Structure formats: structure tokens, C-alpha cells
Amino acid sequence: MPNMNGFALYLYLKEKNPSMKIAFMTAFDIQLEEFRDIIPAIEINDIIKKPFDIDDLATQMRHNLES
């Protein structure tokens, strides 16, 4: 994204709609604590690590939407 990163987008969207469910997909090996330094409310289920197969992605997204 040319004008903002994923963290800035997350904060922008949450400001507009605090109940919105958002998941990060990343290939980086980033620890939950590093995410929490920027976004304190993030949970481990909100982070989907690449590579993943489509069935695992669908399962995790379904779980996140239901929680």
C-alpha cells in the first residue's frame, strides 16, 4: 500500500468501526509481543502466518468471525 502500512490501516478501520474483525496475514516471523507494542488489543488468532493452505485459512477465518 503506497500511503499506509497494515498497522495504520488497522488503526484507521478500528477508529471507523471498533467492532470490525481484522486479521493480519504475514510471511514475517513476528512475535505477538511485537504486534502488541503497536496494537495492544491484538490476539494471536488475529495473525495468520504464510504460507497457509486455503482450508486452514478458511477454518481460521471462520473461527475468528464466530468469536
Please indicate, yes or no, if residue 42 is contained in any of the structural domains. yes
Please indicate, yes or no, if residue 10 is contained in any of the structural domains. no
- Please give the tally of structural domains in the chain: 1
Please indicate, yes or no, if residue 7 is contained in any of the structural domains. no
Per-residue pLDDT tens for 22-66?
A: 888 888 777 777 777 877 777 666 778 889 999 989 998 898 888
The helix/strand/coil state of 1 is coil
Q: What 3 state SS string does 5-65 have?
A: CHHHHHHHHHHHCCCCCCCEEECCCCCHHHHHHHCCCCCHHHEEECCCCHHHHHHHHHHHH
Q: Which domain holds residue 46?
A: 21-66
Please indicate, yes or no, if residue 15 is contained in any of the structural domains. no
pLDDT computed for residue 21 by the predictor: 86
Please indicate, yes or no, if residue 26 is contained in any of the structural domains. yes
Please indicate, yes or no, if residue 55 is contained in any of the structural domains. yes
